[in-house]
Each structure stands twice: as structure tokens, then as C-alpha cells.
Amino acid sequence: MMRRLPQPIAGEWIDRTRPLTLQFEGRAIQAFEGDTLSSALAGAGVMITARSFKYHRPRGIYSAAGHDANNLYQIGAEPNQRGDHILARDGLAFSAVNTHGGVSRDRAAAMTLLSRFLPVGFYYKAFMGRSFPWFERVIRSFSGLGKVRLDAPGALRGRRHAHCDVAVIGAGPSGLSAALAAVAAGARRVVVVDEAAQPGGSGLWFAKIKPEQVARSRELIEAVRTNPAIELLCSHSVVGCYADNELAIARIDREDGGLTLLRASAVVLATGVIEQPAVFRNNDLPGVLLGSAAQRLLYRHGIAVGKRIAIFGANDEAVALALDLASHGLKVVDLLVPLGSPLDTASAPVQKLKAAGLRVHGHVQDFVVSTRNDGSLIGFDFRGMEVGATKWVRRRCDALLVSTGWMPALQLLLQRGGAIRFDATLGQHVPDALPRGLFVAGRANGCFAFDARLADGGAAGEQAARHATRTAEAPTASMYSAPRDPHSHSHAAPLFPSRAGKEFVDLDEDLTLADLANAAQEGFDSVELMKRYSTVGMGPSQGKLSNLNAARQLAHVTGRELPSLGLTTARPPWQPVSMGALAGARFSPLRHTALDAWHEAHGAQWMSAGAWRRPAHYGAGGAPAAAIAREVAAVRNAAGLIDVSTLGKIEVMGRDAGLLLDRLYMNRLSNLAPGRTRYAVMLDEAGTVIDDGVAMRLADGRFTITTTTGNSAAIHREMQRRMAEWRLDCTLHNLTGHMAAMNLAGPQARAILAQCTDLPLDEAAFPYLALREGHIAGAPARIARVGFVGELGYEIHLPFAQAQAVWQRLMEAGASVGMTPFGVEAQRVLRLEKGHLIVGQDTDGVTNPFEAGLDKLAQTEKPFFVGQRSLAILAKRGARQKLIGFALQASRAPLSECHLAIEGDTIVGRITSIAWSESLQKTIGLALLAPSIAKMGGRVQFRDDSGALHAALLIEAPFYDPRNERQRAHVAA
Amino acid sequence: MSAISTPQVGTRYGMKGPRAAEWLAQQGIAVPASPNSIASWSSAGGGRCLRLGNTEFLIEYDGGFSPPAQPAHDGAWLLLRSDASLLLDDATWPHALAQVCSFDFRRFHDEPDRVVMTLLAGISVTLVREPRAGNTHLALRLWCDASYETYLQHCLQHLARPDPSPGEPR
């Protein structure tokens, strides 16, 4: 059983003067500041810390480094938090994921009895057809990970952008050495990132048997900590390495950790090696863990992994591990060396172990772990050449450490497009081709000896700095002369099948040797196919502990060599990262018009319009319909003033300004006389109506054109693109945010405006569709006589800063005749009464001018305009829908936009606009209907939400003032 | 962290077109030699000329000054500019802005006359280093579309909180 050692270990990361109490599935756990959730459980003697994904087998601490997915916890609303990294906090409550009744009494543990009926890929074969949804529900209830709480409040995660000359990933000896060398070589800012809570890596282990190594590591740590050019980011994981050396770095010691986006001129990967499991019967149960995990728990958290420890080891590190644990008083009783190990059992260190009383068993061929019924470890059985190939020997232990080999952590190199090759001498993969600006150092580069790690890190750091400061060409892999070890540190194939099975290759997915053999025999005999069929490597740990052994099993089953099998593609994220961290802070840029404060002070009820907020209507009290009706009546009978600043306003200047507009809009604008305006419609290449606006000619070679509110940025961008593509001599200026705009409309509009300007406003001087520049209330303004709402109207454009004063002055001037501000809702009614369409509301993503009734504006005799060719085709094909006006037969009905038009059992169209018209005393609207239905004088039925049908008569728009006399001022008050 | 301040600006206008640089020089304005750079002057109340591209300029006077009339010829177009501008003068701003902006503010140390057009909290801004006598830290002047000023002020005040949320990267 694991336990906290009573005496501190020198340099341990916990603070024993700061005790904490956590709650694990309702049980109080005593811990210390500096503990992770995993170490807190270990220190409290909790052996079963999780349940497996598929069979709900008991699981415990395995890597203590987050390389496995055993210890995933639910913390509040946050699922799947890695216990190896989340730091303990007083009062923190957490529970294992994927259990039915908790880890110690998981009712779903019975699933293991069904394992023989659940072979790899069973659901591909078994649950076809109509029964699949039932099986899917059952499977999902018994497997899976944490629970997503849909009612959890959204939490903003931190996001930071950072930059550096050199980023070093890994703060072990080679990483620390690289960082210092980079600074010495001229790097001005170096960032060192490590997943552990403190730097040093494995350089701080073997304190009593390699004290000089630990002392040197401490010197490096101190030098890095005190170097002002180096930033140390511990408890951070680089989850992605992208082009231009952009690194996505997640904070991993909290469940609400954010993301840092670090752009580095050069990167050093000092990511080390990941200790790999050996695969034997019951290798997944609590008490079986990696040798490196034992050292992490010991040196960081003062935890002994057991009272009677055995080591299943194949390399030099296994011997050093035994010596290291023994030097701290832990009882190591057996070292089992499997057949085919690179470890020489006749070597001096092994002899030293034997001399110390430890039993060394060489040439082990078969190995199984013995457990009690509850899954706890009681010992192991083995047989081999030394004890006789047929004789099983049983030994007792309460902790079995596995130390049979390593895999370099080179996934980030592969993500960046680098290549690796298998080095037969070293028995592991090594870098083969490095992307520009990326360097590899240390054990990830095949350098295992401590001095070699320092030297290799120093060389990589220096080269990275020279690359970052552009003092040298980027070195290539062939320039590397890494001091790699001349012998292997890994067993070639630590796979030990047994007749009884349960040898787990992938702890995430509960995949055994037999599962992978079956997959290969079914024809999924490449690493990529096997991965997809069996899901090996697709769990939360992304194959860190399974991909290599899976490939070894595939090589064994297919009789091929490991290097010939290749590797699965490395993709981000390298470590699990929460969706919240990826999403980061939510930006919702909101635009305010120059008149926003006035609207707010006068009771505006707001609505969203693209990125803007606009007054829907004014007046907080009373029904909105009454307020809207009041505003409509004011415009029809006296005057109203509306803020239309949100309209896009783009100025086009230069010799080819007219030509640009002629090509972009379907009607001709180049022949517009200075001082005149014209309605303009824009199409896309397919002939679809995408925008409309009013073109105003200010002078020769100078136009302003308005766009719809939501489209201003897109239209400006498209204009820029076209201007460059067509190499036109003109330039653009997006005035949208620089100019405010307001529309003064109503029979009294002229009289009101006349009080505020010296411009002549009579019909002859300022006719319908004219444009004038002058001053209103002292502010420079452009005034266009247009009539979107069907009344005498003036659209006034003026500088942002002066808009409020002008608005105020106009309101004062109109007060005596009852002028009122009006909002978007009233404007919609007013324009609907006139039958004016709104692009994007009364048109959709396929509506063309023939369907919208805009085809008469198309000037097809122009040499070219965007969509011209499509219009010719569309003219022949005929309309698929027609925009047409209607009036309900009943006065009112619960209908709104998008309610469907029904003919028999067939949908024949939909409402695009509908409103009650106080002026007409009926409900009017526009609808896109099938051409066979859209006949003037015809009838149609619209279906409301309840399914009730409402009859409507199709009538011609405009519904109000059909001869347009009011906006032309032929009818004035 | 200090409050965000709004600088006093007298006159601001834009100038665009192939002959804009020539026309500005004729007006006696110090024209930056290269795009994305700024030239400032302290005479006549002070001001600055930002070269936003090869042929686009933003001119700002700190004091009152009558804006020029539109040049009579093609190739130099006088533009209305109603940008909002803000001053950020505190040593912690670059670190705080790093939460919402990907620009590397260290570059101002090497290129003090640099003009940066970037995204900040999701909106387009123009940033320059604000020369401040006696400052040991970086002060920034930024411009954004006037309609985003309220939003940006809100974001910056949020960033200026002394206590970042616990999960923020260190």
C-alpha cells in the first residue's frame, strides 16, 4: 500500500506545514499543499483511484505524470480533469469518472464478466439495424468519461499571447541547459515550459546515489529562475505546435486553466522520454505502476509506493531505480529481468543489488500478476530459464514497478512536419528531419547520459538562439552530432501473453493483446487501420503508453519488423485540453452609434442589428405595438427622426470610381450626375441579390454608396478585392464608423430642416433624389432626398462627433409639429407599407432579381457587371419563387416571418415580412411564393404555429401611396 | 493599473491617394518615409502623421487647426476621420493587453516609430508608442473605430482589474 513517508525527502514539492483536506467521493483525504489529486490519494493510501473505460476494472496511479488516463476526475462542472496535474486545494471535492456507485463499489464492474462477449469491434458487427439506438444508449451508460453538465454557467478562461526568441519545451536537465545556452548565445527572451509543477525533471532523482547530478540540476534551476531573460512556465502543457513555431500552451494545474499562445522564433524540444508499460496479465491493476512514477511520488510528494516492492525491469534505469528506492529505506525485494532485455544481469550494478540482498531473476519468459478478488496486488508468478521454463515461482509484493523501456516524446516534432527514424542501436526512434527553427535535445534526441543531456541541450539552445537572432542558417538534422547512447534502454517487445488473457496494451480503451491480434487477423493490419478499428491510441492519453506496444504486437502478429510499420499521424492536441480553454475569452464587439447615449436617455428599447445595437422603439412603459403605432403615425402625419448610422457608407474616389461601381452593381452608376443619388443593387457571381444601397455622386470621381447594416465590412472588403483584381485607378474609404447618419421623414420634414440649415430646400433647388452638401446646425453634412419610408425625407450624413448636437437641434425644431424619434420596428412597418424590400430579410441566399422584382434595374447592356452572365441564364430558366405582396383577409392573425404558405399538402412559400398597418387598417406583408401561386389577385393560405391556416389575398405593392406622391412631395402638409 | 485616458485632439483628418505624400509634404507636414511608421512634431501645439500604407495617412493635431480643403487635383483625397483615440500609460498595460492582442509589444523598443494595425479584443486598432518624457515603461496611443469606443473602454477596464480570474495563464 502507498503511504506518505514520515520524514520529508530533500527538495520535495509538498509543504508539510500546510495541510489540506480534500473530499474524494465523500471521503475526507488529508494532503499537503503541493500535492496533486493523485498524490493526495496515494498519500492517503487509496489504491483504487479510478475505474477503466470499458470493463470498469479497478485502476490506480500508473505514471503520475498524466501520461495515462487512469486518474480522470470530475471537479464540479468540469469533467475529465487529470489528477496527476491538478493541484490539491483545501476543500476541493472530486470524484472518479465513469463509475456507478464510486470507485470502490462500482456496480458496473460486472462488465468484466462479459468481456469475452465484447471483442474488439464488437459494436461494428453486433448492433446493426433497428436495435442500434437501444444498444447505443446502453453502451453510453456503461462506458464513457465525465459528465458534461449542460446547466453549468459559462466560465471565461484566460488567454494570453506571448512571444519569445526561443521556447524550450521541457525543464529537465537538457531543457534547462538549452535555455541558459540560448540566453548566452544572444536570445533576449526565452520561455521554458514544463508540465510538472516545478522544474528539474528526472535530474532531481537518484539523490543519494548520484548526488553530483542532483546538485548540478539544482544549479541549473537556480540559474534559470534568476535569469531575467527566462520565463519559466511550470504546470503548463504544450498541446499543439503549429506553423511559424506557434505553440498552444494549456495551464494544467487547475480545472479552469487557460491557454497561452506563444510565438517563438525558435523552439527546442527537450521533452524527454515517456516510460512504456510492459504487457502481462493484470498489468493494469492498482499497485502495478511505472518505475518513474515511483520516483515522482517519492521525490515530489514524499510517498513510498509500497512496503514490499518488486521491479520488472529490463534496462539500466531499473537497476538505478532499485538502488535509488533502497537508498531511501524502501524495501525492494525482487528484480525480474525479462528474456531479451538490454540489461546485463552480470553487470556490476546488478551484482551490487544482489550483494544488498535483492533477488535478481534473469531470463524471465512468463509473468503474471496475482491479485485478490478486489483487484489488489498480492504478488506475481513467473517462470524463465533461470528457474526452469515449466516451473512457476510465486513471490509476494504490494507494489510492482515496471521499467522496461522508453518512447521519445516527439509528437510535437511530428506535428510540425518533422520526421523520425528508428535507431536500432538505441532501440528507439530519433529525429531524422527537423523543421526550420525547431531543435531537439536530451533523451528525446537519444542522449541518456546526464552529461550528454546537458551538452546536447546546450548545443540545441545555442543553435536555436542563433536561428532566432538570424546569426546562422538553420541547421539540419545532418548537422547534428548528438552524443547519443551506444546501447539500448528499451526491451524490444515487452509483451508477455498468457493463456488467461487480460494483458492490457491500452489502458484508456481496455484493449488487450488478444484484441489487437484479432484486429490484425481481421485484416486491419497497418497501424492506421488497427487504430481506427480497435481505437488503440484514441483515448485521452492519445497513445502515449499504447501506440508503441500496439505496433510491437502488430509486428509480432504479422511477422514484420517494427520500423517497417511506421507510425500513426501525430495531431494536436498532444495532451487533453478543455474546450473552454480552447474557446478562451468571448469577445462580442458591440458597436454604438454616435447617438447611443441620446437613445438610452430617451427610453430606447434596444435590438441587435449586426454588430450594432439600435432602438427598436422608444418608451419602456406600455405595449411595444402601441409605441410602434405611435411612431408610425408621427412619420405619416408630421415627422420622425431615425438614427441610420449603422448603414454602411463607403466612399469611392478616383478616375475609375464610376467604372468600379458599374462593375459591382447591376445598374449603371457612372452616369449619375454630381449632386444626384440612385438606388443600387449588388449581385454575386451567381446572380443572387446580396446587397443594396444608395449611390451618391459627390463630385467627378467621388461617390459615396451605402450598404445594408450587416454587410458594410464584407462589401468594403469585396470592393477592395475587385479594385485590386481589376487594377482600377481609384481608392476606397469606409466611412461607416466615421460618419453618423439620420433620416428625417414626414410631411413636415422640409419645414423642420429649414430651421437648421441655410441650404435651399424648395422642390426646384432640392428635388427628389438630389444630394446636397452644406451645414446643419453648424455641422458639415451630406443630405440626400430619399424616401425609404415613403414620405418626404432627408438622409443626413455628418461627422460622428457632431451628430448628437445636430440630432438634438432637429428634435427641438420638430417639437412644435409633434416630431418623434422612431425606431427600427416603425421603420419596418413604414417601408413595408411602401413595399420596399430588405435584402437578407425579403431575399435569401438564392433570390435573384427576377424573383425579387428588381430585374428592371439590371442594365444588361453594360459591358460587364458581377452576375451579368448568370442573369442571362436565369432569365431563360425562369423564377423558382416570386416576392409578392399580400393582405390577410382577417384583420389580424398570429403570423410572423418564416411562417409557411400551404397549398393542399404542399409548402409553396413563406412569409418574409408581415405587419399590422395602422394606416391601412389591415395586416400586410411580403412573401416568397412559388410562381404558380404568386399571381396578383390570387389567394394563399399561411399556417401559424398552431397549424391553423389564414387566408390572404395577393395584392400589388406599394400598399400605401401607390403613386409615390408623398415622397416626391407632391402631397405635402 | 492607471486609468485609461482620452487624449486631447484638435484636428484629425485622413489623406489617401498616390499623391497624398507629396501633398502633405507641401503642407509642411513631416511625412514618414516608410509605411507603418509615424512622424511626430512638437511645434505649433504638436501632432503626428501616421503612414498607414504606401498611400494612406492619418494626420492629427493636438491643438486647434483648420483642416485643409480638398486638393484640387486627383490622386490626393482628403478623408473624414472620426476615430476614437486612447492613451494607455502604465507599465502593466503590455502584459494586460497580451490577453486580448497577439502583437508583440517588445517590438516597440526596437522600432519606436512603428505603426501597428492589429486586432485587440476582436476589433481593429492602430497602435503606436507614445513618447513620454521620463517614462521608463511603454506608453501606448491607440485608435479605433469610434463606434467601438464604448466596447473597447469596457474591455480595457476589465483588463485593468487587479485580480485576474484564477484560471488565467500566468
Any idea which of A105-109, A638-642, A657-661, A936-940 has the lowest mean pLDDT?
Answer: A105-109
Any idea which of A329-338, A577-586, A874-883 has the lowest mean pLDDT?
Answer: A577-586
CA A46 to CA A37: how far, in whole Å? 11
Q: Which residues of chain A have a CB within 8 Å of the CB of B165?
A: 156, 158, 256
Terminal alpha carbon distance of chain B:
17
Q: Which residues of chain A have a CB within 8 Å of the CB of B99?
A: 158-161, 585
pLDDT of residue A162: 95
Distances in whole angstroms, Cα of residue A285 to Cα of each of A47, A400, A445, A480: 9, 10, 32, 42
pLDDT of residue A340: 92
B109: distance to nearest CA of chain A, Å? 12
Q: Which residues of chain A have a CB within 8 Å of the CB of B74?
A: 654-655, 701
Distances in whole angstroms, Cα of residue A812 to Cα of each of A259, A630, A641, A821: 53, 19, 11, 11
CA A259 to CA A238: how far, in whole Å? 10
Residue B165 has pLDDT above 60, yes or no: no
pLDDT of residue B166: 45
pLDDT digits (tens, 9 = 90+) for A149-171: 888 877 778 889 999 999 999 99
Q: Which residues of chain A have a CB within 8 Å of the CB of B106?
A: 163, 189
Q: Is A881 in contact with A847 (CB distance < 8 Å)? A: yes
Name the 3-class secondary structure at A243. helix
CA nearest to A256 within chain B: B167
Interchain proximity A594–B146, CB inside 8 Å: yes
pLDDT of residue A40: 98
**Torsion angle, CA of A41/A47/A50/A56, rounded to 10 degrees?**
-170
Residue B167 has pLDDT above 70, yes or no: no
Q: Which residues of chain A have a CB within 8 Å of the CB of B80?
A: 733, 735, 738-739, 799
Return the residue matching grid coordinates 504478488.
A379
The DSSP letter of residue A630 is H
Mutate one of A164, A470, A592, A600 to test the B interface: name it (highest B CB count within 10 A): A592
CA nearest to B146 within chain A: A737
Query: Band of the pLDDT at A973, cuts 50, 70, 90?
Result: very low
Tell me which H or E stretch contains B20.
Answer: helix B20-26
pLDDT above 70 covers what percent of chain B? 93
Q: Please tell me whether the peptide bond between A615 and the residue prior to it is cis, using omega within 30 degrees of 0.
A: no
B interface with A, Cβ–Cβ < 8 A, is: 14, 16-17, 55, 74, 77, 79-83, 98-104, 106, 121-123, 145-151, 155, 164-170
**Residue A561 Cα to chain centre, angstroms:** 38
Q: CB contact, 8 Å: A702 with chain B?
A: yes
Q: Which residues of chain A have a CB within 8 Å of the CB of B145?
A: 591, 736-738
Mutate one of A246, A731, A734, A736 to test the B interface: name it (highest B CB count within 10 A): A731
B42: distance to nearest CA of chain A, Å? 25
**Torsion angle, CA of A804/A808/A811/A815, rounded to 10 degrees?**
170
Residue B164 has pLDDT above 60, yes or no: no
Interchain proximity A590–B100, CB inside 8 Å: no
pLDDT digits (tens, 9 = 90+) for A12-53: 999 999 999 999 999 999 999 999 999 999 999 999 999 998
**Nearest by Cα to A514 from A143, A121, A68, A140:** A121
pLDDT digits (tens, 9 = 90+) for A270-293: 999 999 999 999 999 999 999 999
CA nearest to B123 within chain A: A589
CA nearest to B80 within chain A: A738
Any idea which of A87-91, A122-126, A196-200, A645-649 has the lowest mean pLDDT?
Answer: A122-126
Interchain proximity A800–B146, CB inside 8 Å: yes
Q: Which residues of chain B have a CB within 8 Å of the CB of A159?
A: 99-100, 169
Query: Band of the pLDDT at A479, cuts 50, 70, 90?
Result: very low
Interchain proximity B82–A739, CB inside 8 Å: yes
**Residue A914 Cα to chain centre, angstroms:** 39
Q: Is B100 in contact with B160 (CB distance < 8 Å)? A: no
Query: Band of the pLDDT at A178, cuts 50, 70, 90?
Result: very high
Q: CB contact, 8 Å: A231 with chain B?
A: no
CA B17 to CA B23: how far, in whole Å? 10
**Nearest by Cα to A783 from A772, A792, A769:** A772
pLDDT above 90 covers what percent of chain A? 84
User: A122 or A34, which is more confident?
Assistant: A34
pLDDT digits (tens, 9 = 90+) for A788-801: 899 999 999 999 99
pLDDT digits (tens, 9 = 90+) for A409-445: 999 999 999 999 999 999 999 999 999 999 999 999 9
pLDDT of residue A313: 97
Record the cell numbers describing residue A649, joined without a space. 457608407
pLDDT digits (tens, 9 = 90+) for A656-692: 999 999 999 999 999 999 999 999 999 999 999 999 9
pLDDT of residue A555: 96
Strand partners, A742: A643, A796
pLDDT digits (tens, 9 = 90+) for A898-923: 999 999 999 999 999 999 998 899 99
Q: CB contact, 8 Å: A701 with chain B?
A: yes
Measured from the Cβ of residue A580, the count of other Cβ atoms closer than 10 Å reads 20
**Nearest by Cα to A659 from A674, A670, A672:** A670
Interchain proximity A263–B121, CB inside 8 Å: no
Q: CB contact, 8 Å: A253 with chain B?
A: no
pLDDT, average across residues A372-393: 83
Q: Which residues of chain B have a CB within 8 Å of the CB of A255?
A: 167
Interchain proximity B151–A590, CB inside 8 Å: yes
pLDDT digits (tens, 9 = 90+) for A212-248: 999 999 999 999 999 999 999 999 999 999 999 999 9
Interchain proximity B77–A159, CB inside 8 Å: no
Which value, in Å, is the radius of gyration of the alpha carbons in chain A?
38
- Share the mean pLDDT of chain B: 88
Strands A731-734 and A303-304, by their bridges, are unpaired
Return the residue matching grid coordinates 484560471.
B167
Q: Which residues of chain B have a CB within 8 Å of the CB of A735?
A: 80
Q: Is A667 in contact with A848 (CB distance < 8 Å)? A: no
Q: Which residues of chain A have a CB within 8 Å of the CB of B159?
A: none
Supply angle C-alpha A963, A966, A967, rounded to 5.
95
Strand partners, A504: A512
pLDDT digits (tens, 9 = 90+) for A493-550: 999 999 888 999 999 999 999 999 999 999 999 999 999 999 999 999 999 999 999 9
Nearest to A161 among B101, B123, B145 (CB): B101
Q: Which residues of chain B have a CB within 8 Å of the CB of A584?
A: none
Record the cell numbers describing residue A2, joined without a space. 502507498
CA A91 to CA A82: how far, in whole Å? 18
CA A165 to CA A179: how far, in whole Å? 11
User: A394 or A569, which is more confident?
Assistant: A394
**Residue B37 Cα to chain centre, angstroms:** 10
pTM: 0.87
Residue A586 has pLDDT above 90, yes or no: no
pLDDT digits (tens, 9 = 90+) for B17-63: 999 999 999 988 999 999 999 999 888 778 999 999 999 999 999 88
Q: CB contact, 8 Å: A233 with chain B?
A: yes
Query: Band of the pLDDT at A127, cuts 50, 70, 90?
Result: confident
pLDDT of residue B136: 78
pLDDT of residue B69: 82
pLDDT digits (tens, 9 = 90+) for A807-845: 999 999 999 999 999 999 999 999 999 999 999 999 999
CA nearest to B165 within chain A: A158
pLDDT digits (tens, 9 = 90+) for A340-362: 999 998 999 999 999 989 999 99
